[in-house]
Structure formats: structure tokens, C-alpha cells
Amino acid sequence: MEQPDRTDPGLAAVLHALGDPVRLDLVRRMAGNGECTCSPDGLGVPRSTLSNHWRILREAGITRTRRDGKARLMTLRRADLDTRFPGLLAAVLAENGRRTH
């Protein structure tokens, strides 16, 4: 599974990936729990849709995916993101619950 180098993804790709509520929820889960399975509990999103969300996060350089047997486990590339875009991830994670529509 191809994963971008930490300097590859641009800001637009990262912001696009973080701009979706499901992907933002996945990022928050990884930030709080470390590794996340490809089908975390409590999302209510079809597997095919989740697969697309994970691909977008991976291609934007936000997550790293590893295989463990048949399972895929995702982790947040926090250090890479903090190096490339200082403060961005912290601001996104701190925003939890403050959105207005």
C-alpha cells in the first residue's frame, strides 16, 4: 500500500481530507486512541464509504496504514503533520464541539 512521503502532501490536500465530518471523526479517534481499525465501532458508515475516507486520509499524508494479518490498522502521522504544518493538527483537534452551522 503506497503511502506518501511526509513532505509530499500539500496544504490543500490536508485541508480537504480534514474538511469532511467522517474523516475528522476518524482523525479524532486516532488522536485519542492511537491505532484505529478500518471499521471502528459507532460510525454507522458503510465499509465501502469508510474505505474511501481512509484512502483520502492516507493519500493526504494524515494517516499511516499497516497490515496485521488480514486486518488494517491506521495511525495518525502526528509528527509528520506537526513538522510540515506546525499547529494545524492541534487547532483541528481543539475545534471539537465548537462548530456552528
- Average pLDDT for residues 78-88, to the nearest whole number? 92
pLDDT, tens digit (0-9, with 9 covering 90-100), for 7-65: 566 889 899 999 999 999 999 999 988 888 888 878 888 888 998 999 999 989 999 98
> And the C-alpha cell for 71?
486486518
DSSP state letter for 46: -
Confidence of residue 70 (pLDDT cuts 50, 70, 90): confident
**100 in a domain, yes or no?**
no
**2 in a domain, yes or no?**
no
**1 in a domain, yes or no?**
no
Would you say residue 98 has pLDDT above 50?
A: yes
CA dihedral (22, 28, 29, 35) positive or negative: positive
Q: Which domain holds residue 59?
A: 11-94
> And the C-alpha cell for 62?
494524515
**5 in a domain, yes or no?**
no
**68 in a domain, yes or no?**
yes
Are residues 67 and 3 in contact, defined by beta-carbon separation less than 8 angstroms?
Answer: no
CA distance 16 to 47: 21
Tally of domains within the chain: 1
Q: Whole-model pTM?
A: 0.83
18: closest CA among 101, 100, 96?
Answer: 96
CATH number at residue 44: 1.10.10.10
**56 in a domain, yes or no?**
yes
**71 in a domain, yes or no?**
yes
Q: Is 59 buried (19+), middle (13-18) or exposed (0-12) by CB count in 10 A?
A: middle
**87 in a domain, yes or no?**
yes
